[in-house]
Amino acid sequence: MDLRAALTAPRARLWVFTIAAGLLTAVALLLSPPAVVAYNVGAVATQAVKAPRSVSFVSDSLTEAERDRAAAAIQKQYAPNPAVLATSLRRSSRCSASPR
C-alpha cells in the first residue's frame, strides 16, 4: 500500500488533520508572548494593557452633583396663582362655617 492511497482514506485524513492542527497550535503557543506582564511603579507601558475584567464604580458625590445640576437646568413649570389660593380659602371657610 503506498502513502497516497493511505491518505485518501477518510480515517487517515482525519488523523493527519488532527496532528497538523496540534502541531500548528503548539507552535503558535510557543511563539506567542506571555499573557502576564510585570510592571514596575512609575514605568511607562510600551503596549496597550487590557484589563481581565470590567469594573465599575458609582460615585455618590458626583452622582448627587449631576442630579443637582440637572434639577437646576429644568425650568419652572408651576407658577402659583394668588387668586386661586384666595378663592380656595374662601370656599373652605364657607364650608367650615356653615351649620349642619
Full-prediction pTM beyond 0.85? no
Chain mean pLDDT for the chain: 84
Closest to 9 measured CA to CA, from 60, 99, 17: 17
pLDDT band of residue 69 (cuts 50, 70, 90) is very high
Q: Note the pLDDT of residue 44.
A: 87
pLDDT in tens, 81-91: 888 888 888 88
Could you tell me the residue ranges of all domains in the chain? Answer: 1-33
pLDDT in tens, 27-38: 988 888 776 777
CA dihedral 61, 65, 70, 73 (to 10 degrees): 170
Closest to 37 measured CA to CA, from 23, 27, 22, 52: 52
